[in-house]
Every structure is written in structure tokens, then in C-alpha cells.
């Protein structure tokens, strides 16, 4: 497992270097300085860079170099970062801290935080649409399309809408296991699945290989969310470095609350096994991705 | 000039029909119902559809059918509509009414309005990136890239940032003619220019033809903004159907305020002439676009 953490760290290093470079380039082309600073605050403030890891290692299955996969990896991280900036806003989750630093709206102001998110979303599509991203325009257009569908109303944004409706609107129907799973598949699953599929697109995978990586990503996303919920329910604050029991305290419906910890663990094990099974077609080359799935069973942060 | 208004109306009709269809399709694919309703409120609530007109008629210069240009036309309108939804938010312009109807945050809530904008931006890129938008993937990827650059930190979002900084932050440098022109070129000019360039991309124009339409769009955007300011400064409320003198009352720096009405009129005439001159290479076919520029000298709404 430590080999996996090394690979995760390596992916984070290369994607952060790339993001630093391309954001500096955009700044030199005329981004207003205060906006540029707030964008750096949002993007370069740490994070595991899990989605970029998935893009890089999915692409590597087809022999694609990290360089070839970096624009797609950076693009999906920009979408992820923008979503965190908007989720933290006072009218959404009203969070003042993220990773021990003030959130963007707290460090700057609300309107700057909204614009940082808007600019980062546009930048993600600029990165994958740019002529030098890939000499094959079909690759660029496909990356855009997969990323756009995963980010939008039937994906990440739609999931956030459902999450906020459940928390903020009166008279909502009681959540069910199915409704929670759908919400999570949209809010976090869609982007994780897209990361894997985008790696296949960069690598030039066949439709079957692309489908296999979608399936892997789908089960990995489910495992990711259940392990997150378990971490919140089981973990101690000292272990996770963040507040735990937050979901229960917020009266938030989670799979753990509906199923109990034992049943949730079994769901998690099932999702991990299904994710790994989807990688069979790739043989031993898929070990980094299989390790990523296995880690979901042993997360401590 | 009435011929131009007929063509503008026709463009609005076809793009609204297209937007209605594609939004319904997205809704059927799983957009949460309340989000879908709020998106329709934002997109289908009227408007001149000036940017789609520019895409359709720029593409028509090359013989492209309206059908071929509709995804690009609808995409740029989605970007425009999302920007209005976010601009209206309490932390930005705090507007409760738009075109006589409640703004999205007022009709729903702030977080829904933020998510409507986020979803519409993703949808714009989904539309131009989709495989059936154009059989040539280079066209799709180019459309994405031009739209993303125009929408982001060096374009529309950057311009909105500068506009809000001027209005909300203490200790800002006094505006100059150059700084106002730069702000306007980013905030509204970038998208108008992109509309013209996207038409050239759909039509398969040569690099020179694409550059000519960029130049046209650049001057048209400048004319559009000056005529807007003149309308605000000169127009009566009865004529324009909206509050006038709003900029002066808000102490907002405009070119009119810096130059006086006479000098601003001369800037406007110059921009219109430069826009029309850029169309020379296209001959008589460019009449609808030339008429659009001429109209900037005679707007009453």
C-alpha cells in the first residue's frame, strides 16, 4: 500500500507543477491580479489530487506518458477545486476553513469566490480544448464532452442541488438508500468516473476498454463515498485531522445511518471488489488503480 | 433596418426552439426537477439573442446552415445567461428583477442561482463538445477553446471582477478611459467577438476570414457597450423600458462620463465604421452583420 501512496504523491507533484505553470501563463495573459491570487489560493492549497492520479494512471494503461495526460488531469482538478469554492459559500455549506486555511470567500469575499469558481470552470475546458493538448482533435472534443456531462446538471452540480435541497428545503421526501446512492453517484461519483474515462480517451482505448474504466470508476466512486462516510462515523478527530461525527451532528442522511456500520462495510467491500474486477482486462498493468480501490477499505484520512 | 430586426427575431426564434429541445433532453437524462425549472427560468425568459444572431450570420457567410450553427449559438447564449444569473446575485449586483421577472436567486434562492449558473456553463461546453455538433472534431475542439478563453479569467469573468472591484473595493485607482475600455472589452466584448469567431469556425473560414470576423466582433462589442451607455445617459425610461441614468446615479465610471456625450458619439461612429470595414472581404453577403453594426448608432432599447 505504501507504493500506492508514493504514486499518489508523485501524481500530485506533477499536476501541481503543471497547474502552477498554466495558471501563471493565464495570469500573464491578463487575469486581474486579485482574481489570479484567489484562483491560486483555491487551486494550489493542497489536496490529495486523487482525480488527477486516476487520469494519469488510466492513461498509463495504454502507454500514454504523464505529459500527454496532464491537461486532462489538471482540467478535472480545476473542476473539483471550483466545486469546493462554491460549496463553501455562505449560501451553501457556509464553511470558513478548508485544509486549515480560510476558504476563498472568507479570505477574499463572496463575489470573488463565485468568480473564482466560474473562471476555474472555464479554464478546465480551455485546458482540454487547447490545440496543443493533443494532436488528435477527437481526443480533445471527447475529453470536453465527458468532462462537461460529469460536471453539470445530471452530474456534479445536480448532485449538489439534491444535497442542498435535502438539507435546506422544507417538505422534502424522506431519503431512501436509493436516493442517497443516486445523490452521491452524481455529486462525487460522476467526476471520479469521468477521470478514469478521460484517461482512456487520452490513451486511445477501445470502446470496451473505455467502458471497463467507466465501470471501475463507478464502483470506485461508490467506495470512495462510503469510506468517507465511515471515516466520519468511526474515525477519531486525531486520526483524520478533521472533525468527525459531523454528518450525524448535522442530521445528514448517510448510507451509514440507513444501513448501520456493518452493512455499510459490506457495501464498501462489494464496491471495491467490483472496481478491481473491472480492471481484469488490463492485467498487471492496472495495479496502481487496483491499489487505489483497495485503499478505500483502509482509509485513515 | 427593419429587415435586420426581422433577422434578429428569426435567429431568436430558432435558437429558443433549439434551447427548449436540448434542455428538455437534458432534463430527461436526470437533471433534478427544481434545478431544471430554474434553468428554464434563466434561459427561456426572453432576451434579444444577439450573440446567437452573430454566430448564425457569421456562419452563413460561408454557406453554413442555421442547423449547423445552432449548437454554437445556443452554447454562447447559455454562457451569457449564466453570467446574468450570477451577476444578479446579492453579493454582486443584487438585482431582484430582470426583464420584468424576478431574478433566479429571487424566484428560487441564492444557492440554486449559483448552481444554475454552474450547470449552464457546463452545458455550454457539453453542447459544443458533443459528437453530433459537427462531424469534424477540430471544429468542436476549436469552438470549445474560443468559447472558454472568452468566458474566463482573461475575458468575461475577469471583466466582471474588474467591474466589481471598481464598485466595491476601497482604495482602487481612479478609472481612466483606457481602464474602462479594457474592462468593457473583457466583460462584454470578449463574448461578442467569440460569437463572430465561432461562426467562422462552424463555417470553416480561412485564418484570414476568421481574423476579419474577430476584428468585426471587437469593434461591434465596443460599439455595443458605448451605445448601451448612451442609452442609459440619454434615453428616457418610456423609450427604453428600463431605468435610465442608473450608471450616473450609481456613481459608475462610464466612457460617457469621462468623454462627454459628443465625444462618446464620435467613438461610437468610429467603432461602427471599423466593424463594417472589417466585413469588406465578404462583400454583399455580410449585409446582416453590417446592419447589426449600424443599429448600434440608432438603438432605442
Collapsing DSSP states into helix, strand and coil, what is residue B54? helix
Which residues on B lie below 8 Å from A168 (Cβ)? 109, 111
- Per-domain boundaries in chain A: 2-295
* Alpha carbon distance B245, B185 (integer Å): 22
Q: Do A122 and B148 touch (CB under 8 A)?
A: yes
pLDDT tens for A228-264 read 888 888 764 445 445 556 666 666 778 888 889 999 9
A126 and B112 within 8 Å at the Cβ level: the answer is no
For residues B273 and B220, is the Cβ–Cβ distance under 8 A? Answer: no
Put simply, the answer to whether A157 touches B26 (Cβ < 8 Å) is no
pTM of the model: 0.95
CA torsion, ordered B134, B136, B140, B143, to nearest 10 deg: -100
Q: What is the pLDDT of residue B249?
A: 62
Q: Are β-strands A97-98 and A101-102 bridged in parallel, bridged antiparallel, or unpaired?
A: antiparallel
Over chain B (301 residues), the average pLDDT of each successive run of 10 is 87 97 96 98 94 98 97 98 98 95 97 98 98 95 98 98 94 90 96 98 97 98 92 64 59 81 93 98 96 87 63
pLDDT of residue A184 exceeding 90: yes
Confidence check: pLDDT of A82 > 80: yes
Fold of A2-295: Farnesyl Diphosphate Synthase (1.10.600)
**Cβ distance B108 to B32 under 8 Å?**
no
C-alpha dist (Å) from residue A28 to A32, A126, A148: 10, 16, 27
- State the smallest CA–CA distance between residue A216 and chain B in angstroms: 22
Nearest CA in chain A to B140: A141
Q: What is the mean pLDDT of chain A?
A: 93
pLDDT of res. B237: 47
Q: What's the pLDDT score for residue B173?
A: 87
Considering only CB atoms, B125 lies closest to which of A91, A144, A155, namely A144
Q: Which residues of A47-71 are buried (b: 16+ CB within 10 A; e: fewer)?
A: bebbbbbbbbbbbbbbebebebbbb
What pLDDT does residue B247 have? 65
Q: In this predicted structure, what is the pLDDT of residue A46?
A: 87
ipTM: 0.95
Please answer yes or no on whether B30 and A86 come within 8 Å at the CB atom: no
Give pLDDT, residue B250.
62
Share of chain A above pLDDT 70, in %: 93
Radius of gyration of chain B (CA): 19
Q: What's the pLDDT score for residue B222?
A: 95
CB–CB of B89 and A117 under 8 A?
no
- Angle separating helix axes A190-203 and A137-151, nearest 10 degrees: 180
State the pLDDT at residue A232.
81
pLDDT in tens, A19-72: 999 999 999 999 999 999 999 999 998 899 999 999 999 999 999 999 999 999
What pLDDT was estimated at residue A266?
94
Question: What gap in Å lies between CA B204 and CA B118, rounded to an integer?
Answer: 30
Phi first, then psi: give them for residue A28, nearest 5 degrees.
Answer: -65, -20
A164/B111 touch (CB, cutoff 8 Å), yes or no: yes
Name the residue facing A141 among B114, B129, B151 (closest C-beta).
B129
Q: Report how far residue B227's alpha carbon sits from residue B250's, in angstroms, rounded to the nearest whole number.
A: 18
What is the three-state SS of chain A? CHHHHHHHHHHHHHHHHHHHHHHHHHHHCCCCHHHHHHHHHHHCCCCCCHHHHHHHHHHHCCCCCHHHHHHHHHHHHHHHHHHHHHHCCCCCCCCCEECCEECHHHHCCHHHHHHHHHHHHHHHHHHHHCHHHCCCHHHHHHHHHHHHHHHCCCCHHHHHHHHHHHHHCCCCCCCCHHHHHHHHHHHHHHHHHHHHHHHHHHHCCCHHHHHHHHHHHHHHHHHHHHHHHHHHHHCCHHHHCCCCCHHHHCCCCCHHHHHCHHHHHHHHHHHHHHHHHHCHHHHHHHHHHHHHHHHCCCCCC
Mean per-residue pLDDT, A156-175: 93
Quick one: CA dihedral B149, B151, B157, B159, positive or negative? positive
Chain A and chain B share a number of CB contacts under 8 A equal to 187
Query: Looking at residues A130-153, what average pLDDT do you find?
Result: 97
CA distance A287 to chain B (A): 32
* For B39, nearest residue in chain A (alpha carbons): A153
Q: Are A160 and B115 within 8 A, CB to CB?
A: yes
Amino acid at each position: 500500500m505504501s507504493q500506492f501512496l508514493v504514486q499518489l504523491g508523485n501524481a500530485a507533484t506533477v499536476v501541481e507543477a503543471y497547474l502552477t505553470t498554466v495558471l501563471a501563463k493565464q495570469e500573464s495573459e491578463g487575469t486581474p491580479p486579485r482574481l489570479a491570487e484567489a484562483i491560486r489560493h483555491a487551486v494550489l492549497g493542497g489536496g490529495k489530487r486523487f482525480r488527477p492520479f486516476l487520469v494519469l494512471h488510466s492513461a498509463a494503461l495504454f502507454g500514454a506518458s504523464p505529459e500527454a495526460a496532464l491537461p486532462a488531469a489538471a482540467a478535472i482538478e480545476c473542476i473539483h477545486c471550483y466545486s469546493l469554492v462554491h460549496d463553501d459559500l455562505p449560501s451553501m455549506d457556509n464553511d470558513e476553513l478548508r485544509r486549515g486555511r480560510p476558504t476563498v470567500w472568507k479570505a477574499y469575499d463572496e463575489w470573488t469566490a463565485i468568480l473564482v469558481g466560474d473562471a476555474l470552470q472555464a479554464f478546465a475546458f480551455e485546458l482540454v480544448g487547447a490545440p496543443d493538448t493533443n494532436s488528435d482533435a477527437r481526443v480533445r472534443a471527447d475529453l470536453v464532452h465527458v468532462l462537461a456531462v460529469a460536471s453539470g446538471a445530471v452530474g456534479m452540480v445536480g448532485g449538489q442541488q439534491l444535497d442542498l435541497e435535502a438539507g435546506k428545503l422544507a417538505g422534502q421526501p424522506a431519503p431512501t438508500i436509493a436516493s442517497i446512492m443516486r445523490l452521491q453517484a452524481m455529486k462525487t461519483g460522476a467526476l471520479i468516473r469521468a477521470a478514469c474515462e478521460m484517461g482512456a480517451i487520452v490513451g486511445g482505448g477501445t470502446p470496451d476498454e473505455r467502458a471497463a474504466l467507466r465501470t471501475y470508476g463507478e464502483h470506485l466512486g461508490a467506495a470512495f463515498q462510503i469510506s468517507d462516510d465511515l471515516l466520519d462515523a468511526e474515525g477519531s478527530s486525531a486520526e483524520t485531522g478533521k472533525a468527525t461525527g459531523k454528518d450525524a451532528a448535522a442530521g445528514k442522511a448517510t448510507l451509514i445511518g440507513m444501513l448501520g456500520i456493518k452493512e455499510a462495510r459490506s457495501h464498501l467491500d462489494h464496491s471495491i471488489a467490483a472496481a478491481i474486477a473491472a480492471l481484469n482486462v488490463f492485467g498487471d498493468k492496472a495495479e496502481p488503480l487496483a491499489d487505489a480501490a483497495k485503499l478505500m477499505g483502509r482509509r485513515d484520512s
